[in-house]
C-alpha cells in the first residue's frame, strides 16, 4: 500500500543547483560536535528521577500520586472518584491485569455503575464515540521523561490515540521503571526499535500534563482541546 | 603603557568633557596617552545604513591612523564594535585584511581596557547619589562588555546603583534609525526615559554617547528630571 | 491570507499600530513574561550555548544536504502509505490540496496552526472551492472569527488582542454571553470546536519538523488541537516548508527541546506528536489517507546565498519576543504574516523588496534577536546584508541619502576636511544654539530635533583641547 510521489526530481534538482553541486544520493550523518542532551540527569538514580518528576509536575499543573503495586487499585479508585467517576475510556492493555487492576475494572466499577470501556478494534469507530463521551481516559506510560514530566505513548490497534485526548480528564499510570532522564532516551528507544527491524508506530505521543493555551494575552489557561486535568500515578515496581 | 585614544566623532564634537575625563582616569592609572591626529570617523553611520563601499575609505583612514598604536582605547562600545568588524568588511581584500585584523585585536572599549587590561576595578571615584546604568546594545551584545561597567560602577564611593527595568531593550538610537524611523525611535526612547525615571535615580549612566545623546535629548525635551552621564565622567568624579 | 496582507505603506501601518494602546500593552507584557520564561528555561539547562551550537550544527547540515533528506523523507512517507507532493509555488501547493479535498468530496476542513498554509493562501483557495475551513488553534480561531484578522505573531497569532476585545468578538459572532476571563473564553471555544473536529472530513496541519529516516511528521502544540486534527478526520493533509526536515529522531528531540524552551519557556509543550504515514492496520483512529505537501515557494532561491542561514529557523519567535521594535509597532506593522526580526529578514526574501524593502531598516541592529536565536541565525547581520543590497545593488535609497553617504565617504576619510567641517559647525550652529542646546535644527537635523534636544557643538573640540594640553603628537 505504497503512496505516490509527485514532482520530486525537478524540485530536488533545483535545490542541488542552488547549492552548487550534483544531487546527493548518499549522506553520512556526522558525529555531532556538541551533544549536551547526553549529560542531562545522566547519572540520576530512579529515585532522583522521581524527585525531578515530582517538581516538574507542579510546573505542568499535573497532580502526582505515588503508590505501590498493592495499593494501586485503591489509589486509582480514589483518583477516578475525585474526578467524578465514569464513563471511563481505557486502552486494551495487558498491563492493567499485570498491575492487579482486573478486579477493579471488571467487577468493582461496573458494580458501582461506573462505565468502563476498553478500546476494542472490532468495534471500529464506536471506540472514538465512547472516548469522546468519557469523563476519564486512562493509559499506561510506555516511557516517562523526568525532566519535562512527559509520558510517552506508542499507539497501536489496541491503544487508540483518542483515549488520552478526548475525555475530560486523563490519568497516566507510570511504572516507576519507565522513568528516564529526558526525551533523548525516547529517541534512543526508537533507535533500538529501528535497529531491531521494527517500524515506528503510526502515532507516538509525548504528553506533558493537561492541554492548555496561552493565546489570550499570553495567560495560561489549563484545559483547551484535550483533557482539562491530568494525574500521573507513579507505581513502585522495582 | 602606551595608549592611543580613538575619541569618536560624537565625543570630539559634542562631549569633549567625557573625553577629558577618560584622559584623566587613564593617566592616573599610569597610561601614556596619544591622540593620532588623522582619526575621523569609524564609518559606522554609512556602514550600518548599508553603504558598505562608501564606508571603506573612512575605515582605511582609521586603519592607517592607528597603525603604530600599541593599544587603541575608545569611550564608545559601538565604535569599538565597528573596529572589530573591520576584518569582516575586508575579508576579501588580502592587502587590508591583516591590517584590519591587527587594529581589531588591539582595540578596547574604555571600561574593558580598565578592567581586563589594566586589571583595575576601583579607580578611586566618588559620586554621591543614586544611579542606574543603561547597557548599550552594541557594547553589551556585540562587543560582549556587559560586566566591566558594572564592576567599575560598584566601586564608586557614595554611588548607589539601582537596576534599570527592561534594561536589555534598545533605547531607539540605532544611528540613522533615530531619524529615519523617528516614529518608532520616539516610542523606544520614551520607554527608556520612563524606565529610568521609575528608578528615581539621579543619574542615568551609559558608555556610549550616541545612546546618551538620544536618551538625554529626549528626557530634556519632555522635561524629565534625570542627568545623563558618560561612565568616564562618573569614574573621574570626586564629589 | 497571503504572506502580504496590507496595501498600506510601512509608515502608515506603523503609525496606526503605534496608536493602538491595547496592542502595545499586550505585546509589552507578553514580551516581558516570555523573556523571563525563556531565560529561566535556558539557565536551567546550564549549557545553553552548547545547545545552541548543536541546534545550529544540525540545521546547517540539513540545509547543506537538503535534497538528500527530502528524498529520503518522501521515500519513507510513501512506504508508509502517504502521498508526497512537491510544490514549487504557492499556487501549486494550494491547488493540490484543493484537488485532494475535491476528490474526497470533502466539505468540512479542520486546521491546526500553520504559517506555511497562510503563506500559500490556502484558506481562501479552499473557501472559494466551497469548503468550510475551520481554524482550531485558539489564537487562529479568534482571528478567523474576527473576520480574518491577520496574525501578528508567529507563535501567538492573536497576541495583539486583549481579552475584552476577544470577548466582544465572541459575543458578536459566537453568541457568547460570559465574562472576558480567558478560562471562560477558552471553554467556549472548546465547546464550539469539539463537534467540528468530530464532523470534519479533512484535517490539515502544518509540520514543525519532518523526520527523514522514518518518514514522520511532528506537531508541537499545547492545546491538543493538532492531535484532534490528525486523529479524527479520515484524510490528513500536512503542508510543510521544504526546510523543515531533520535526519532522525535523535536530531528531532534536540530541536524540539530548543523550540519549546525558546518559544514558551517550557521543557516540552503539552503535546508533541510524531505521526508516520496513514493509520496502521487495525488502528481505529488516525487518517486512512495521508498527503504531505512540501513547499518551495521561494525558499530554494535562498539556498546557496548569503541568506541561507535564515532557513535554519525553527519558528520559535524568540527573536520576536525580544525585539524592541516589534515591542512598539506590533506584528501588523510588518505587513507580512512573518513579523519581527525573522519576518524582516524572511519577508523580503520570499515576497520581494517591492513590498518589504522598509523592513530591514526597521531595526536598530541592537542584536537582541541574534542573541535569542536558539539555532544561531545571525539575524541582525542578515538585516544589514539586506540594507547593503537594497542601497548598493538595487539602488533603492533616495538620491539625497546616496549623495550624503558619498560625501560621508569622502569627508570621513580625510582629517583636513573633517577638521574644517567640525570647526565650521560650531560657528554655523551658533545662531540655533540656546543654553548649549539646539531645539530646532535645520535640514536633516530637524528629524532629530523634532523629538529631542541636540547638543551644541562645543567651542573646543576634544582634539583641540588635547593638543593644547598635551602638545601635538
Residue B155 forms contact with C (CB below 8 Å): no
Instruction: Say if domain B121-235 classifies as CATH 3.40.50.
Output: yes
B215 within 8 A of B206, measured Cβ to Cβ: yes
pLDDT mean across residues, chain A: 96
> How far does CA B66 lie from the centroid of its chain?
18
Q: CA of C51, closest CA in chain A: separation in Å?
A: 6
Q: Please report which confidence band the pLDDT of residue C162 belongs to, taking 50, 70 and 90 as the band edges.
A: confident
Question: Is A16 part of a structural domain of the chain?
Answer: no
Q: Edge to edge, what strands does the sheet with A229-236 contain?
A: A63-68, A229-236, A169-175, A136-140, A88-90, A116-118
Q: C415, C452, C454, C460: which to substitute to probe chain B, counting the most B Cβ within 10 Å?
A: C452
Is A touching C (3+ C-beta pairs, cut-off 8 A)? yes
Instruction: For chain A, give the percent of residues with pLDDT over 70.
Output: 100
pLDDT over 90 (residue C6)? no
Q: Note the pLDDT of residue C269.
A: 95
Q: Do chains B and A touch (3 or more CB pairs under 8 A)?
A: no
Average pLDDT score over residue span C60-89: 98
pLDDT of residue C61: 98
d(C-alpha B177, C-alpha C381), whole Å: 16
Interface test with C, best of A125, A162, A202, A226 (most C CBs within 10 A): A202
Q: Which residues contact C416 (CB under 8 A, 6 or more apart)?
A: none
Task: Spell out the domain ranges in chain C.
Answer: 45-295, 399-470
A positions 70-89 inside 8 Å of C (CB): none
pLDDT of residue C4: 86
List the single residue in A128, A147, A218 with the smallest CB-CB distance to C33: A218
Band of residue C176 on the pLDDT scale cut at 50, 70, 90: very high
Phi first, then psi: give them for residue C465, nearest 5 degrees: -60, -45
How many percent of chain A have pLDDT more than 90? Answer: 94
Give me the mean pLDDT over the C184-200 stretch: 93
Residue A1 located in a structural domain: no
Mean pLDDT of C264-269: 93
- Whether chain B has a CB inside 8 Å of the CB on C33: the answer is no
Q: Shortest Cα distance from B46 to chain C (angstroms)?
A: 6
- Report the range of poorest mean pLDDT among A48-57, A209-218, B71-80, C335-344: A209-218
In tens, the pLDDT along C381-424 reads 999 999 999 999 998 888 888 888 888 888 888 888 888 887 77
Write the DSSP symbol of residue A28: P
Partner C, chain B 26-55, Cβ-Cβ below 8 Å: 33-35, 37-41, 43, 45-46, 48-55
In this predicted structure, what is the pLDDT of residue C69? 98
**Which cell numbers in the block locate residue B136?**
548599550
Q: Flag whether A230 is in a domain.
A: yes
Q: Is the pLDDT of residue C425 over 90?
A: no
For chain B, what are the domain ranges? 2-116, 121-235
pLDDT value, residue C470? 80
- Is the pLDDT reported for residue C426 higher than 80? no
DSSP per position, C94-159: HHHHHHHHHHTT--EEEE---HHHHHBTHHHHHHHTT-EEEE-SHHHHHHHHTTSPPPSSSSSTTT
Span C354-382, mean pLDDT?
97
Mean pLDDT for C346-358 is 96
The pLDDT of residue C397: 87
Q: Is the pLDDT of residue B123 over 60?
A: yes
- Residue B141, SS3? helix
Q: Are C282 and C227 in contact (CB under 8 A)?
A: no
The confidence score (pLDDT) of residue A125 equals: 93
What angle, rounded to 10 degrees, do the helices at B52-65 and B97-105 form?
60
Residue A236 or A238, more confident:
A236
Q: Looking at chain A, which subunits does it touch, using at least 3 CB pairs closer than 8 Å as the criterion? A: C
CB contact under 8 A, C58 and A32: yes
Question: What pLDDT, on the 0 to 100 scale, is given for residue C114?
Answer: 94
**Residues B186-231: tens digit of each pLDDT:** 999 999 999 999 999 999 999 999 999 999 999 999 998 899 999 9
* Residues in C touching B217 (Cβ below 8 Å): 448, 451-455
Determine the pLDDT at residue C1. Answer: 66
Confidence of residue C41 (pLDDT cuts 50, 70, 90): confident
Q: Per the domain annotation, does A31 fall within a domain?
A: no
| Residue in chain B nearest C371 by alpha carbon | B141
The whole-angstrom distance between A170's CA and the closest CA on chain C is: 13
Q: Measured between CB atoms, does C396 come within 8 Å of chain B?
A: no
Q: Does A219 touch chain C (CB under 8 A)?
A: yes
Distance of residue C400 Cα from the nearest chain A Cα, in angstroms: 37
User: Total structural domains in chain A?
Assistant: 1
* Fold annotation for C45-295: Rossmann fold (3.40.50)
Across A19-24, average pLDDT: 95
> Which of C58, C225, C301 is nearest residue A225 as measured by Cβ atoms?
C225
C-alpha cell at B153: 560602577
CA B1 to each of CA B6, B28, C90: distance values in angstroms, whole numbers, following the listed order: 16, 12, 63
Put simply, the chain C residues between 117 and 176 with a CB less than 8 A from any chain A CB are 136-139, 142, 156-159, 162-163, 166
Residue C200 scores a pLDDT above 60: yes
What is the mean predicted confidence (pLDDT) over A214-236? 91
Residues 13-42 of A with CB under 8 A from C: 13-16, 18-20, 23-27, 29-30, 32-37, 39-40
Q: What is the H or E stretch that residue C240 is in? A: strand C235-241
CA–CA–CA angle C324, C327, C332 (5° rounding):
125
pLDDT above 80 (res C473): no
- Number of neighbouring beta carbons within 10 Å of residue C180: 18
pLDDT score recorded for residue C367: 97
Q: Is A20 part of a structural domain of the chain?
A: no
The CA distance from C172 to the nearest CA of chain B, in Å, is: 34
Q: Rounded distance, CA C359 to CA C342, Å?
A: 10
Structural domain for A127, as ranges = 36-236
What pLDDT shows up at residue B109?
A: 98
- CATH number of the domain to which A208 belongs: 3.40.50.10420
Task: Give the model confidence (pLDDT) of C106-148 as tens digits.
Answer: 999 999 999 999 999 999 999 999 999 999 999 999 999 999 9
Q: Residue C2 has what pLDDT?
A: 80
pLDDT tops 70 at residue B12: yes
Amino acid at each position: 500500500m505504497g503512496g505516490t510521489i509527485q514532482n520530486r526530481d525537478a524540485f530536488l534538482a533545483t535545490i542541488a543547483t542552488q547549492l552548487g553541486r550534483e544531487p546527493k544520493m548518499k549522506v553520512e550523518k556526522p558525529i555531532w560536535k556538541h551533544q549536551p542532551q547526553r549529560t542531562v540527569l545522566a547519572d540520576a538514580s530512579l529515585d532522583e528521577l522521581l524527585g525531578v518528576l515530582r517538581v516538574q509536575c507542579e510546573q505542568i499543573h499535573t497532580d502526582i500520586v505515588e503508590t505501590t503495586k498493592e495499593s494501586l487499585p485503591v489509589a486509582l479508585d480514589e483518583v477516578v472518584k475525585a474526578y467524578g467517576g465514569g464513563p471511563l475510556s481505557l486502552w486494551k492493555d495487558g498491563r492493567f491485569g499485570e498491575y492487579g487492576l482486573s478486579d477493579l475494572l471488571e467487577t468493582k466499577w461496573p458494580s458501582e455503575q461506573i462505565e468502563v470501556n476498553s478500546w476494542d478494534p472490532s468495534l471500529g469507530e464506536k471506540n472514538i464515540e465512547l472516548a469522546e463521551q468519557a469523563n476519564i481516559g486512562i493509559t499506561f506510560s510506555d516511557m516517562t521523561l523526568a525532566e519535562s514530566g512527559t509520558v510517552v505513548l506508542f499507539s497501536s490497534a489496541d491503544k487508540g490515540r483518542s483515549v488520552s485526548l478526548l475525555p475530560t480528564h486523563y490519568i497516566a499510570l507510570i511504572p516507576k521503571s519507565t522513568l528516564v532522564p529526558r526525551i533523548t532516551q525516547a529517541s534512543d528507544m526508537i533507535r533500538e526499535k529501528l535497529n531491531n527491524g521494527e517500524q515506528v508506530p503510526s502515532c507516538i505521543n509525548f504528553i506533558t500534563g493537561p492541554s492548555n493555551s496561552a493565546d489570550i494575552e499570553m495567560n495560561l489557561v489549563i484545559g483547551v482541546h484535550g483533557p482539562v486535568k491530568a494525574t500521573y500515578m507513579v507505581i513502585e515496581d522495582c | 603603557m602606551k595608549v592611543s585614544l580613538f575619541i569618536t566623532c560624537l565625543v570630539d564634537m559634542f562631549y569633549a568633557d567625557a573625553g577629558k575625563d577618560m584622559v584623566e582616569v587613564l593617566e592616573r592609572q599610569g597610561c601614556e596617552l596619544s591622540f593620532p591626529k588623522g582619526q575621523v570617523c569609524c564609518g559606522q553611520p554609512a556602514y550600518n545604513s548599508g553603504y558598505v563601499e562608501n564606508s571603506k575609505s573612512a575605515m582605511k583612514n582609521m586603519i592607517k591612523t592607528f597603525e603604530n598604536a600599541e593599544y587603541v582605547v575608545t569611550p564608545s562600545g559601538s565604535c569599538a564594535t565597528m573596529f572589530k568588524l573591520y576584518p569582516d568588511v575586508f575579508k576579501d581584500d588580502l592587502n587590508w585584511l591583516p591590517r584590519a585584523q591587527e587594529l581589531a585585536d588591539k582595540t578596547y572599549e574604555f571600561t574593558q581596557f580598565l578592567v581586563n587590561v589594566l586589571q583595575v576595578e576601583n579607580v578611586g571615584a566618588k559620586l554621591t547619589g543614586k544611579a542606574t546604568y543603561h547597557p548599550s546594545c552594541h557594547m553589551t551584545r556585540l562587543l560582549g562588555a556587559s560586566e566591566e561597567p558594572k564592576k567599575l560602577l560598584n566601586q564608586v564611593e557614595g554611588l548607589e546603583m539601582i537596576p534599570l527595568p527592561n534594561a536589555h531593550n534598545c533605547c531607539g538610537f540605532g544611528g540613522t534609525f533615530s531619524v529615519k524611523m523617528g516614529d518608532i525611535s520616539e516610542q523606544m526612547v520614551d520607554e527608556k526615559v520612563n524606565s529610568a525615571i521609575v528608578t528615581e535615580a539621579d543619574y542615568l549612566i551609559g558608555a556610549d554617547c550616541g545612546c546618551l545623546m538620544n536618551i538625554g535629548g529626549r528626557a530634556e525635551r519632555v522635561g524629565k528630571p534625570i542627568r545623563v552621564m558618560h561612565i568616564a565622567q562618573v569614574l573621574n568624579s570626586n564629589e | 491570507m497571503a504572506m502580504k496582507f496590507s496595501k498600506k505603506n510601512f509608515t502608515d501601518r506603523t503609525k496606526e499600530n503605534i496608536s493602538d494602546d491595547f496592542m502595545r500593552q499586550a505585546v509589552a507584557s507578553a514580551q516581558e513574561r516570555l523573556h523571563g520564561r525563556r531565560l529561566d528555561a535556558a539557565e536551567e539547562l546550564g549549557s545553553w550555548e552548547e545547545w545552541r551550537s548543536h541546534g545550529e550544527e544540525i540545521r546547517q547540515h540539513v540545509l547543506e544536504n537538503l535534497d538528500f533528506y527530502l528524498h529520503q523523507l518522501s521515500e519513507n512517507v510513501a512506504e508508509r502509505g502517504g502521498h508526497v507532493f512537491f510544490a514549487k509555488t504557492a499556487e501549486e501547493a494550494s491547488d493540490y490540496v484543493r484537488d485532494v479535498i475535491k476528490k474526497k468530496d470533502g466539505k468540512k476542513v479542520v486546521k491546526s496552526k500553520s504559517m506555511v498554509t497562510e503563506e500559500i493562501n490556502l484558506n481562501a483557495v479552499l473557501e472559494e472551492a466551497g469548503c468550510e475551513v475551520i481554524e482550531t488553534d485558539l489564537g487562529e480561531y479568534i482571528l478567523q472569527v474576527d473576520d480574518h484578522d491577520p496574525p501578528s505573531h508567529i507563535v501567538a497569532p492573536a497576541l495583539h488582542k486583549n481579552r475584552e476585545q476577544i470577548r466582544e468578538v465572541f459575543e458578536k459572532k459566537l453568541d457568547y454571553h460570559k465574562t472576558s476571563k480567558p478560562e471562560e473564553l477558552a471553554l467556549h471555544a472548546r465547546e464550539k470546536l469539539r463537534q467540528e473536529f468530530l464532523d470534519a472530513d479533512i484535517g490539515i496541519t502544518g509540520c514543525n519538523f519532518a523526520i527523514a529516516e522514518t518518514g514522520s511528521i511532528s506537531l508541537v502544540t499545547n492545546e491538543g488541537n493538532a492531535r484532534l486534527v490528525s486523529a479524527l478526520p479520515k484524510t490528513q493533509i500536512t503542508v510543510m516548508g521544504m526546510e523543515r526536515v531533520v535526519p532522525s529522531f535523535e536530531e528531532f528531540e534536540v530541536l524540539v527541546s530548543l523550540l519549546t524552551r525558546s518559544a514558551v519557556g517550557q521543557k516540552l509543550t503539552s503535546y508533541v506528536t510524531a505521526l508516520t504515514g496513514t493509520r496502521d492496520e487495525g488502528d481505529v483512529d488516525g487518517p486512512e489517507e495521508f498527503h504531505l505537501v512540501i513547499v518551495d515557494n521561494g525558499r530554494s532561491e535562498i539556498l546557496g546565498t548569503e541568506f541561507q542561514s535564515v532557513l535554519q529557523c525553527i519558528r520559535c519567535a524568540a527573536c520576536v519576543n525580544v525585539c524592541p521594535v516589534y515591542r512598539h509597532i506590533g506584528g501588523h506593522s510588518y505587513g507580512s504574516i512573518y513579523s519581527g526580526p525573522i519576518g524582516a529578514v524572511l519577508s523580503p526574501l520570499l515576497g520581494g523588496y517591492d513590498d518589504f524593502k522598509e523592513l530591514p531598516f526597521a531595526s536598530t541592529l541592537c542584536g537582541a534577536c541574534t542573541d535569542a536565536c536558539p539555532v544561531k541565525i545571525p539575524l541582525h547581520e542578515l538585516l544589514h546584508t539586506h540594507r547593503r543590497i537594497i542601497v548598493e545593488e538595487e539602488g533603492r535609497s533616495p538620491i539625497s541619502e546616496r549623495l550624503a553617504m558619498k560625501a560621508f565617504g569622502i569627508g570621513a576619510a580625510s582629517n583636513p576636511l573633517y577638521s574644517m567641517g567640525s570647526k565650521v559647525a560650531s560657528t554655523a550652529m551658533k545662531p540655533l544654539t540656546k543654553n548649549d542646546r539646539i531645539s530646532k535644527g535645520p535640514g536633516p537635523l530637524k528629524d532629530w530635533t523634532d523629538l529631542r534636544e541636540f547638543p551644541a557643538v562645543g567651542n573646543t573640540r576634544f582634539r583641540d583641547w588635547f593638543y593644547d594640553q598635551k602638545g601635538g603628537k
